[in-house]
Amino acid sequence: MAKRPASDRRSFLRSIANDGAATAGSLFGALGALRGQAQSIGAELQTPAREAGAEPTRRRAAETHLDMPGDAGLIKAGAAAPEPAFASPIRDEEGAVIVLDVRALPAVIAERRATSASSIAALLTVDAIAPGPIRGLAAAFALALASVGSAGGRVARIHAAAAALRNAAPLAGSLHAELDALLPVAVGGESLDAAIAARAATQLGQRAAYGKRIAATLKSAGLARGATIASGPALGATAWGDLAPLHEALRHLGVRTFTIGAGPTVDVLGAARLGAIDAADAVRAGLTPRLLEDGQLASEIANADGPIGALILGSDAVSRTGYAVVPAGGVGLAAAALFSGVPVYLVAGSVATDVTGAELTKRVEAVNNTAAQRGAPFAARGVTSGVQVATPRVELLALDGITLID
């Protein structure tokens, strides 16, 4: 298969990340340039180039409620698979935040317009926003929305917004870190917009640097061009934003083909999986992904004579006590790898915290219980009455024998 050229957008972002920004003015300039580039790409998406007969990814107007139609992410039988189209996971506009609802991906790009912090908290509660560092940016924009209004109630609104966001995403380390950093700025009356812009530009550079560290770690372990690498889900641009570190690392290593575990479902019928979103992100990054059910991938990893040379998992909730929260299926993949001597690496979306294993266990149970209470219509399709079906979203992984790349 011919090598896919890097997109103009991705090359543009890499140049900003590599050059860095030394002053506040250059930071704002970078963010302004990013917005301009996004507008340019948005215009191009109106008339996307595609092979004859291929069905384009459908665009749906922002919806006013949180219910997702059951067939939103489904492709009709016999229809050509849609090409992976770009849509920013989250972006701001005057008086609102536009959020990409991952529950319709990868077949449909459904965007929601949130005009309040509580709206963003609600989207987080129903897992409409991908798990990962992108939730930190969502929290930042939510604080900005909460800060608008009468001066008298501003501080109270900001604190209420922060509490709602933390409760909506108790396992999103990036979200909690972003709130910790921005709350003093917001309450102190400083320019919140300036702080958000500066942090966004800085994080872009940090992700590019993180990708190089991941590449260096894998290379030092003997993994380079020609290596077969497997990963869990939630490591693509939809979860991380531009320049997802793992995809950047694979690009640096010259590894084009890799295998992704399907992970938990994202849509109400259970047809689309979190790993499928990563796979679409990988195609846009110029990689060639292979998507496998977690059980099948675990079998490949456990085969001592199999092709898998390393397993990489992602987490946005890592504890210094030796635990991490991963998408459901990750624990089984790690167990198979450790059993067969395949090295396991963890890519962290946020810095490790002092949260105990017991507290993380409680939060994992709460997140999974909340998901179960929302219902999973797909779970009842293949079972009879009297059968209990468990559909966890996340799992707690012990880091014994696993290398954390920080």
Q: Give the model's confidence band at 105: pLDDT under 50 very low, under 70 low, under 90 confident, else very high.
A: confident
Do residues 220 and 50 make contact, with C-beta atoms less than 8 angstroms apart?
no
CATH no. of 210-405: 3.40.50.10470
Q: State residue 46's pLDDT score.
A: 36
Hey, is 240 helix, strand or coil?
Answer: helix
Burial code (b: 16+ CB inside 10 Å, e: under 16) for 26-58 equals: ebbebbeebeebbeebeeeeeeeeeeeeeeebe
pLDDT at residue 137 tops 70: yes
Fold matches, 28-44+54-202 and 210-405: no
- Is residue 314 predicted with pLDDT exceeding 60? yes
Separation between Cα atoms, residue 228 and residue 270, nearest integer Å:
28
pLDDT tens, residue by residue, 253-291: 998 889 999 999 887 666 778 999 999 999 999 999 999
The listed CATH number (1.10.3190.10, 3.30.160.40, 3.40.430.10, 1.20.120.420) that belongs to domain 28-44+54-202? 1.20.120.420
Residue 307 pLDDT level (bands cut at 50, 70, 90): confident
Whether the predicted pLDDT of 50 surpasses 50: no
pTM for the model stands at: 0.83
DSSP H or E run through 241: none
Name the band, by pLDDT with cuts 50, 70 and 90, for residue 42. Answer: very low
Contact between 66 and 121 under an 8 Å Cβ cutoff? The reply is: no
Predicted pLDDT of residue 18: 55
- Does residue 1 register a pLDDT over 50? no
Per-residue pLDDT tens digits for 201-229: 999 999 999 999 999 999 999 887 778 89
Q: How far apart are CA 257 and CA 206, in angstroms?
A: 25
What is the band of 305 on the pLDDT scale with cuts at 50, 70, 90?
confident
pLDDT at 44: 34
Q: Alpha-carbon distance 397 to 319, whole Å? A: 10
Q: Is the pLDDT of residue 27 over 50?
A: no
More confident of the two residues 157 and 380:
157
Q: Report the alpha-carbon distance of residue 349 to residue 334 in Å, rounded.
A: 18
Nearest to 342 by CA among 350, 334, 353: 334
Assign 295 to helix, strand or coil: helix
Which two structure tokens, joined as six digits, stand for 283? 């195609």
All structural domains of the chain with their residue ranges: 28-44+54-202, 210-405
Please give the share of the chain, as a percent, with pLDDT higher than 90: 56
